[in-house]
Structure 1
């Protein structure tokens, strides 16, 4: 490990933070409401991250849209497959990579640059090995979905989709790790371009495979796999060729194997934190599959889930900004600056969420047409828009708070929060309203809103009462995550 940063080197930061606090007290009303300098920093950070995550999310979503236009059965199969891929693979890989938000983020703040490359390699090893396990589950998608009482025809289509998506899982897992590696160094502007190129290529590949070859439906997931591998090759070449990574990427090293278990101690709670929330959305898709008129209901709920996912990818830019700013400041020994960064992120997230909701309210019919040409589905999606708007706002708030938790190393605590808010609250309410009160899709989504409300309030209380000055400065040096209290 590189030489440790002495705590004496950051001992003078207390006086600096006290001066900053005095300066804030002298600011005008607008400036007190929002730290403009911090807001500017986060906006310049989050906007490229928003573009990056939207582009990568659209790679999978474009394939679903193209497959959906082949027919109602193909739409239901593709959306169910995309949900199943998220619940069993993509969400898990995003969560695993979240360990790097803590390890690399605080390591970069502490100026222990060489360790970032070591942590990246350890995380990639873990992700690759777990991808093998998940790919086996994906191979047996059809019997698993049938076991969950899903429609047999839809399950068969979903299973076919999943088999051609398996190669993309390995690329996706590596991609997420490299993105976190770059994010924690505040390298975000190049990512927007590097993500846009694979998306444009993907649109061409997907259209050609679906409509210009005998592959048809199978061409959609195959195009996703090809495009994800193109994206990982582009990112890897950028890391090894750019001179700016000379300190943080010093080539492959066997030393990374000695950090696998340390990485796992942060990665597994991080994965559980992400999955426990994402699984709730996918449970709604499965519940929709056992409702009357399951083809339409499944498509409708899956469209809502995909819309929420896209909205969250926009929010994720701010979540990434909050995680990076908080972890970097904690690593440098600036707890008050870390807390201020969190407050600014929350205010920006509310503003951004309202803009997304406004766009959805005005253009929900146009958006629905990307998924289906059925007038019945488009009309039903319009009736879901008010509920979707509420969930997007709540999801935006909790997304930033979860990003702060990752920066602080509180992943284990958020696991308990998600368990306590979604499963005893959100899912039972969804089942009761959806089936007993026969509200169907609307009832399921009210359950989502209930869980998100409890989650956001709980995380807000935790971060508001946390003793920021006592947080572990270098979280990866302590094998236990720091406690907020």
Structure 2
């Protein structure tokens, strides 16, 4: 009898122990989730807002140019949507290599290396910007060679020269943003973005309307809007904002450049293939019957999609930083947890917007146009827009995971296959051969994006994250330098334990 009571008591104790353990585990999970989301939003919030601000500067400039004249607007549209997207894609893509290196080094507590990687990126991206210069110097003859109307080509040539200082601002703005967000110190970028947006609106009005400087007024304001935040960020970095990671300029920045160049080139290729994909959609639409209505409707849809993409790109940056930090810190488990968390949050936001755009359909078009014909075309395209938004909530985040892990070259091959061997050929078949017109082109390209998302999901799911931790450690060890080497002392390498 006593034995039975003893067994019963033992079972009760164990039962209570299991319940206590489950409760503690659940509490631990929610605490871990809150901590992860705090780290996530510290990067994602400022990143989203700063991208809204950058996009807003372009929209404000276009609005003021549109009131100057149709030729100026057409020239600005060509330069901003084709030439600047080309430069933006290359430079932003190459700068994303810095996101990988800074994020992983910060996680590994190799703080002084962040400043070295930043300087190396300045060197590489500055050379790249110089290589791109002939396109902007010889814009007019290039456009005339491609059959563009001479008056628009001439105006585009004038505007593209004004854009040269903006191109060089990308070198600093992209790299500084990657450097600061790797340390979760990008609130300074948000404050400067608010200041810049307000200042650009005021200066555009003052210079263009009150002082009647016309196109020159808009472009001067845009150049100032590009460089003011950079001066603020440099001041923050140089004068004590990043005491652990910025130790001053060093000749060590010129070492191991080839390794960084290779990673930068694969990063640039990966992002360019994504950014140019939508540009090809617009170009293909230009050959449709009733192309004017089709392009107007598509441009409205892409404008809405562009604003939503700022959220997705913000999560891309956050995913890259979180994965890089955790891999650098040597925690495969936390890296996987951060991936599941950021994909889930981004997908939830995308799903809410997906339902909203299905509900409102063409009514949103009247924000941009008074034409019932264009609004009807937008309503017809709204289901495709909604699906695009849903896919955008997952695909860029997975690209961010790839940046954080340093898989840029792998994703570049995936993008070539899914976008250019599946998406575009399918779009041409559906749009031109099978007669589905603009919807066919867009649907084909959405299928390419969907396939790419599935492939990236599969790669992420099947990845051995413990092995990724080892690979990250090897990469950081290979490029690591001692503090005294950075300051110009010993040139021996030091392997990190």
> In which range does the TM-score fall when normalised by the shorter chain?
0.7 to 0.9
Q: Which residue of 2 aligns with 1:16?
A: none
- CA shift in 2, pair 1:150/1:423, >3 Å: farther
Per-residue CA distance 1:121-178 (angstroms, 9 max, x = gap): 1101111121122222123334434555556665554444323222111112210000
Deviates more, 1:403-412 or 1:303-312: 303-312
- Provide closer, same or farther for how the CA distance between residues 296 and 258 of structure 1 changes in structure 2, counting only shifts above 3 A: farther
SS in 2 for 1:27: helix
Displacement, 1:429? 2.0
- Matching residue of 2:60: 62
| Cα-to-partner distance string for 1:341-363 (whole Å, 9 max, x where unaligned) | 01111001111223444565677
Is 1:225 aligned to residue 223 of structure 2?
yes
Cα offsets for 1:13-57 (capped at 9, x unmatched): xxxxxxxxx9899438x969x934423431343122211221122
1:397-416 aligned within 5 A: 397-416=394-413
C-alpha distance 254-72 of structure 1, shift in aligned 2 (>3 A) = same
Tell me which residue corresponds to 2:235: 237
SS at match of 2:255: helix
More deviation, 259-268/170-179? 259-268
Partner residue in 2 for 1:348: 345
Which stretch of the first structure deviates more once superposed, 247-256 or 403-412?
Answer: 247-256
- Give the alignment of 1:77-476 within 5 angstroms: 77-148=75-146, 154-217=152-215, 219-241=217-239, 243-357=240-354, 368=365, 376-471=373-468, 472-474=471-473, 475-476=475-476
| Distance apart, 1:430 and its partner CA | 2.2
1:11 alignment partner in structure 2 = none
Q: What is aligned with 1:27? A: 26
Whole-angstrom distance in 1 between the partners of 2:136 and 2:357: 33
Which residue does 1:483 correspond to in 2? Answer: none
Query: Is 1:166–1:225's contact at 8 Å kept on the other side of the alignment?
Result: no
Shift of 1:250: 1.4
CA distance in 1, matches of 2:72, 2:361: 22
Q: Is the 8 A contact 1:42 1:321 kept in 2?
A: yes
Q: Distance in 2 between matches of 1:232 and 1:194?
A: 9
Counterpart contact for 1:75–1:372, Cα < 8 Å = no
Tell me, which stretches of 5 or more residues in structure 1 are unaligned? 1-21, 480-485
Cα distance in 1 for residues equivalent to 2:436 and 2:76: 25
Q: Which moved more, 1:399-408 or 1:348-357?
A: 348-357
CA-to-aligned-CA distance 1:353-386 (integer Å, 9 cap, x gap): 2344456567777865665565654553343332
In the superposition, relative to structure 1, how do residues 264 and 192 fare at CA in structure 2: closer, same or farther (>3 Å)? same
Deviation at 1:284, TM superposition (A): 1.9
Distance 1:24 1:256 in 2: 51
**Structure 2: where are the runs of 5+ without partners?**
1-20, 480-497
Distance 2:175 2:279 in 1: 24
Structure 1 pair 388/162, CA: closer, same or farther in 2 (3 Å)? farther
- 1:473 alignment partner, SS class: helix
Q: In structure 2, do the counterparts of structure 1 residues 230 and 100 end up closer, same or farther at CA, with 3 Å as the change threshold?
A: same
Range 306-315 or range 174-183, more displaced: 306-315
CA distance in 1, matches of 2:245, 2:387: 41
- The structure whose Rg is larger is 2
Distance 1:328 1:66, change over 3 A: same
